[in-house]
Structures are given as C-alpha cells and as structure tokens.
Amino acid sequence: MNEQIKKQRRQNKKQEKRFSLFTKISIIVFLCCILLIAKIGFQLFGSISDTMLSDKGSSFSQVTHAKNVPKETSKRFESETDWQLILVNHSNPIPENYQVSLTKLRNNQSVDSRIYPALQDMFDDMREAGLMPVISSSYRTAQKQQSLLDEKITAYKKEGYSDNEAEKLARKWVAPPGTSEHQLGMAVDITSLDRNEQEPSVIWKWLLENSYKYGFILRYPEGKEDITGTIYEPWHFRYVGGQAAREIMERGICLEEYLE
C-alpha cells in the first residue's frame, strides 16, 4: 500500500512539473504576443496620428520627401537660420543650389515641410471660423513656372499684343523661373473651395487680419507694387516666421522693406 502511495505521489509530482513547465511556456508565449501586438499598435497609432493631424481640416495628407530646385543664378542668403526670410523677386533670384524638403498635400500641392505645421494650424482655425479655404497653388518647379509664363504670354498674343508687349504684360502676373517665391515652397495661393457658397474675399479678409499669427504675410500688398515689382495679389501668402510676420503686419510694410 505504501508503495502504491509513493508511486502515486511520484506521478503527481511529474504531472505538476509538466503543468508548471506548460504554464511557464504559455506565459512566455502570451507575453511575446502582447509585446508584438503593442509594437504593431504603436506603429499603427503613429501613422493614424499623422493622418489625423493632417485630416483635421480634411485638406492635407503628409508625405515628406526631398527635391532639388534646379540651379539658378542668384545670391545666397546670409545664414541657414534665415531660411524663412529669403528674398526672391525680379532682382533677387533663388539661391544657387537651393534645396527644399517637401510635404505633399492631399490635393497634390506641396509646401516646404518646415512650414507645414503652421499652415495646418492656420487652415484648421479658418475652418473653425466657418471658412472654406483651399490652396490653389504652392510649390512649383522651374519648368512649371516657365509653362505658366508661356501660357500667359500666349493669351496676351491672342488678344492682339506684340511679342514684346505680351511678354511684358505676362511678367506682371507671372514671374520668370528663378524669381518666383513658389519655387521656394514657402508661398501659397489661397482661395475659396466653393465660390458659389463663399466668396474668396471673405477668406482673404480673415487672412489679412490673422495670417501673421501663424507666421504668414500678404506678400504683395496693395500700394507696394513699385517696391515688390508685383501687382496686388490678395490670395498670395508667404511664410516668414512669427516674429517677422508680426512686425511686418504692425508696421504695414512689405518683405522688401523689412529686409532693408
């Protein structure tokens, strides 16, 4: 009888060891699964967060990549920290070998990735104010800029202007390649998503009063045509940074005057 009891106890101990080993293995597998799920969840949440940030105003989808602007004849700006204040106009071409990292927007427009957060915030607040803004033009390649200029020249020729007259008139509206801020990726043309429901002028009024809070300025204000060399464009806004934007707004000046 004693032998049977001892034998039974030995069998019970073996079973307990097997159960204990099985339990340990199960716990390890369970923990590994938890870690794997957590890792996948973290990656998924990260991508969802990016989408939510860009989708808040249902206009942007962030995809960052690098592009090089074609080589242009130009002068360099003094410091890399002054990137937001780089001056580009008919007398100041884009810096030689200028490079820009772009964020692609949902409507296939692109902007300098450094201005994207401020731009998103501005659009979010516009929508909260009941506005319906949309970016109609942003970053352009030199080829795109030349194409727009050629189209404008052709349009004037069809109206009966000579080649020289057509080009002169076209340059008042479209800057030649290398002299357009759109090639920087820091300028955006903003209008109404639906002109039948909301006039662009309503959006431009809000931007004129509030864009400086996000580091943007009306780049070509009315009455400054002789200084900027460009006609009044109520839709064209340029990122210059918070401090500069506020001072330009308070003083009622343009970027050329600010940089004097």
Q: Is residue 20, in this structure, part of any structural domain at all?
A: yes
In a shared domain, residues 2 and 125: no
The string over 244-256, giving b where at least 16 C-beta atoms fall within 10 Å of a residue's C-beta and e elsewhere, is bbeebbeeebbbe
In a shared domain, residues 24 and 42: yes
pLDDT band at 173 (very low <50, low <70, confident <90, very high): confident
pLDDT at residue 51 greater than cutoff 60: no
CATH of the domain at 226: 3.30.1380.10
The string over 202-211, giving b where at least 16 C-beta atoms fall within 10 Å of a residue's C-beta and e elsewhere, is ebbebbeeeb
Look up the pTM and report it: 0.69
DSSP 8-class letter at 89: B
Domain total for the chain?
Answer: 2
Distance CA 199, CA 101 (A): 33
Distance CA 248, CA 219 (A): 10
In a shared domain, residues 94 and 21: no
The β-bridge partners of 190 are 135
Q: Could you give the residue numbers annotated as active site?
A: 233
In a shared domain, residues 104 and 221: yes
Task: Confirm if 237 and 207 have CB atoms less than 8 A apart.
Answer: yes
Q: Which domain holds residue 238?
A: 58-140+180-258
Q: Which has more pLDDT, 7 or 194?
A: 194
Task: Confirm if 159 and 86 have CB atoms less than 8 A apart.
Answer: no
In a shared domain, residues 1 and 123: no
